[in-house]
Amino acid sequence: MAKRKYIFVTGGVMSGVGKGVATASIGKILQSRGHKITAVKIDPYVNVDAGTMNPTEHGEVFVLDDGGECDQDLGNYERFLDRNFSRLNSLTTGSVYLSVINKERALKYKGRCVEVVPHIPLQVIEDLNAAADHDKADIVLVEIGGTVGEYQNILFLETIRFLKLAHPDDVITILVSYLPMRNRDNELKTKPTQYAVRTLNSTGIQPDMILARAPLPLDNKRREKIALNCNLSIEDVISAPEVDDVYEIPIQLDKAGVADRLSKKLGLTKRKRDMKEWTRFVGKIKRLKKEVRIGIVGKYFGTGDFILSDSYLSVIESVKYASYALGVKPKIDWVDAGKWKTLNQYDGIIVPGGFGSRDIEGKIRAIRYAREKKVPFLGLCYGMQLATIEFARNVAGLRGANSTEIDKKTRYPVIDVIPDQKEKLEKAKYGGTMRLGAYPAVLGRETIAANAYGKRKISERHRHRYEVNPEYIKKLESKGLVFSGKSPDGILMEIAELPKKKHPFFLGTQFHPELKSRPMSPHPLFLAFIKAALK
């Protein structure tokens, strides 16, 4: 195997400038040249994983096949690179410290004094190599969360310095920066980027390349200015202006010469690139005219639009891929759970996953609307559980039916805690203990689900503690609800649907199909849902 190379992506000036997509895009263009890439996200927070965080804090919790609960950027990496990653691809301050402390307790440091420096950076290096070994990667892309200059990520920057010292020719640091624009004269301002580089320099790191995110393309004058003040050659100051769709970014960076520059710096063997499929995909998106209108009934609205869309990122992307494949452009709206009356403007309604009791009755009302008005409906995890509750209450006559997550004393607990989850909740063992990751399911013959998948054995990713209460399955089935997907032992209900003659498309999944949609291979259930919405 060739010598392992490391590319670190750091952020400057402000957060939210698209570091995750930039990292995924760099991965894409290197992958398109035949390199084996792995991508690791390092988050500076102390939570051991993202599973214990509210999505309004850090965006959606992305779940991997192995059950790792990660930052949403892992979703970007999987979608752009069309790969399944493992929990090794996600590190946090908490996970790294935990490893070090566990080793110390096991006397693995052989009586030495264990110190933040060097032991934390050394642990990070060990973890990065473990991810690379697992993926047999020759290039490790590492995105460091937060921005340079924060105390929180200083030990991760120290990791770069350590690695560079040991392998000067194999380590690259990229700074993704932002150039604000003064509207009066459309001038992009370079000073904040210069400060960010100074800050990075003060940690002993010189960036090898700057990706200048900005509302407009960067002119040569400003590129020269940044190059001169930040010790770079002008070719390494990359103009990365706003684009209509994030999927254009790999093409943008490739055209700007990023892959060529990186290959040269790292001494990678020169290979021809193949971006044909991706370019075709992006070209197609740009030409779409006809719209499909999808309402997502959610609750993580609190903090402004961008947080909201981050909370449901994979759902949005899944809607996009399915729509693109069917030659339409999705127009996605956020519907406040209380405002179900506005639902008549949508071709399809999605009720995504969630936790707790807030806005539940509004969501159930929205599901009832979709069922009675025969609007295509897709329920994801909590959405499936709530659809089961709605059906129990309004079709099966179980008035007051509920989930014990919402009402412990409900007369009809049609959704109840999974038996082995009960103890975990009682002992407050919350972190990493849900039913997580990929589990197989078997689909019923001649069902909407089986038709959509075109097969009867599937594997999907999960994240839940509650399930359809086995005691109510017979009753619900006798009233017409079809459990078209079940765990192989037949105990856990994985998909609930209404038969085609009753409703054009009414289907809920206990799992999260949105976690497995990819740009070129939209998820079959999203595809079937959008198809129904177009009718």
Residue 299 binding ligand GLN, by CB under 6 A: no
Out of 198, 307, 355, 432, name the contact with ligand GLN by CB under 6 A.
355
How many CB atoms are closer than 10 A to CB 480? 13
Nearer to ligand GLN, 127 or 467 (CB): 467
Out of 77, 80, 85, 382, name the contact with ligand GLN by CB under 6 A.
382
How many CB atoms are closer than 10 A to CB 171? 24
Residue 353 binding ligand GLN, by CB under 6 A: yes
Query: At its nearest, how many Å lie between ligand GLN and the CB of residue 237?
Result: 43
Out of 71, 73, 158, 405, name the contact with ligand GLN by CB under 6 A.
405
Preceding amide of 118 cis, omega within 30: yes
C-alpha to C-alpha distance for 431 and 424, rounded to whole angstroms: 10
Query: At its nearest, how many Å lie between ligand GLN and the CB of residue 419?
Result: 13
Helix (H, G, I), strand (E, B) or coil at 199: helix
Residue 369 binding ligand GLN, by CB under 6 A: no
Query: At its nearest, how many Å lie between ligand GLN and the CB of residue 417?
Result: 8
- The answer to whether 252 and 211 are in contact (CB under 8 A) is no
How many CB atoms are closer than 10 A to CB 305? 9
Nearer to ligand GLN, 263 or 509 (CB): 509
Question: Which among 233-241, 350-358, 474-482, 517-525 is the span making contact with ligand GLN, rule CB under 6 A?
Answer: 350-358
Query: At its nearest, how many Å lie between ligand GLN and the CB of residue 178?
Result: 33
Out of 164, 320, 463, 523, name the contact with ligand GLN by CB under 6 A.
463
Nearer to ligand GLN, 8 or 466 (CB): 466
C-alpha to C-alpha distance for 173 and 151, rounded to whole angstroms: 19
Query: At its nearest, how many Å lie between ligand GLN and the CB of residue 464?
Result: 3
Question: Which among 89-97, 228-236, 388-396, 464-472 is the span making contact with ligand GLN, rule CB under 6 A?
Answer: 464-472
Residue 354 binding ligand GLN, by CB under 6 A: yes
The string of DSSP codes covering 151-196 is GGGHHHHHHHHHHHHH-TTTEEEEEEEE--EETTTTEEP-HHHHHH
Strand partners, 38: 140
Question: Which among 91-99, 178-186, 452-460, 463-471 is the span making contact with ligand GLN, rule CB under 6 A?
Answer: 463-471
The catalytic residue positions are: 381, 512, 514
- The answer to whether 358 and 486 are in contact (CB under 8 A) is no
How many CB atoms are closer than 10 A to CB 293? 14
**Count of residues in the chain:** 535
The runs of H, that is alpha helices, within 402-517 are 419-426, 448-453, 473-478
Residue nearest to ligand GLN (CB): 353
Query: At its nearest, how many Å lie between ligand GLN and the CB of residue 373?
Result: 24
Residue 75 binding ligand GLN, by CB under 6 A: no
- The answer to whether 523 and 402 are in contact (CB under 8 A) is no
Query: At its nearest, how many Å lie between ligand GLN and the CB of residue 442?
Result: 21
Query: At its nearest, how many Å lie between ligand GLN and the CB of residue 16?
Result: 25
Nearer to ligand GLN, 232 or 386 (CB): 386
Question: Which among 93-101, 352-360, 516-524, 526-534 is the span making contact with ligand GLN, rule CB under 6 A?
Answer: 352-360
- Tracing tokens 């310095």 back to the chain, one arrives at 161
Strand partners, 348: 294
Quick one: tokens of 377? 């409906």
How many CB atoms are closer than 10 A to CB 82? 13
- Size, binding site for ligand GLN by CB under 6 A: 11
Residue type for 140, please? V
Residue 225 binding ligand GLN, by CB under 6 A: no
Residue 324 binding ligand GLN, by CB under 6 A: no
Question: Which among 135-143, 243-251, 457-465, 522-530 is the span making contact with ligand GLN, rule CB under 6 A?
Answer: 457-465
Nearer to ligand GLN, 153 or 309 (CB): 309
C-alpha to C-alpha distance for 155 and 153, rounded to whole angstroms: 6
The string of DSSP codes covering 283-341 is HHHHH---EEEEEEEESTTTT-HHHHHHHTHHHHHHHHHHHHHTT-EEEEEEEEGGGGG
Question: Which among 83-91, 125-133, 391-399, 462-470 is the span making contact with ligand GLN, rule CB under 6 A?
Answer: 462-470
- The answer to whether 367 and 314 are in contact (CB under 8 A) is no
Binding-site ranges for ligand GLN (CB under 6 A)? 353-355, 381-382, 385, 405, 463-466
